[in-house]
Amino acid sequence: MDGSLLYVSRRMCTEAEIGDIVAVSRVRNASLGVSGALIASRTRFAQFFEGPPAGIATLMDSIRRDDRHTGIDVALEATTERRRFSGWALAYIGSSVFIDGLIVTIAERATPCPDPGHLERLIRAMQEFAQGR
């Protein structure tokens, strides 16, 4: 069964560097059978993956080593029956006030486990932005 994973992190790079990340990611994610979405706000990233657990683990090994962001915090890891971003090796979504607020709410939570309602709202917002393109 496919897995899914969502993390938030602190952005440490420019728009141009994000462009490079997205270009490399679309090729590599497709080759691993992984789909998902990346959101960048001015100060944060949120990224959602779904696909074979081994593919997601391979990507996360690279992503954890990458110094273009820091403070990587896995907020959700689950199995999934139905992909939400099929057809998207990596949808890229720029900043929006609504989404930035949700990322901060999840990143700055007081408990180890985020509120499932906040996670669902963030993933649904990512889907809506991706489908609007």
Ligand X SMILES: Cc1cc2nc3c(=O)[nH]c(=O)nc-3n(C[C@H](O)[C@H](O)[C@H](O)COP(=O)(O)O)c2cc1C
CA–CA distance, 7 with 81 (Å, rounded to integer) = 20
Which residues make up the interface to ligand X (CB under 6 A)? 21, 24-25, 28-29, 38, 45, 47, 59, 62-63, 66, 68-69, 90
Please identify, using beta-carbon distances, which residue of 90 and 119 lies nearer to ligand X: 90
Among 26, 6, 10, 3, which Cα is nearest to 92's? 26
Relative to beta strand 35-40, strand 2-11 is: unpaired
CB of 87 to ligand X, least distance (A): 15
CA–CA distance, 98 with 96 (Å, rounded to integer) = 5
Q: Tally the residues of the chain.
A: 133
Please identify, using beta-carbon distances, which residue of 29 and 117 lies nearer to ligand X: 29
Please identify, using beta-carbon distances, which residue of 69 and 84 lies nearer to ligand X: 69
CB of 52 to ligand X, least distance (A): 14
CB of 25 to ligand X, least distance (A): 3
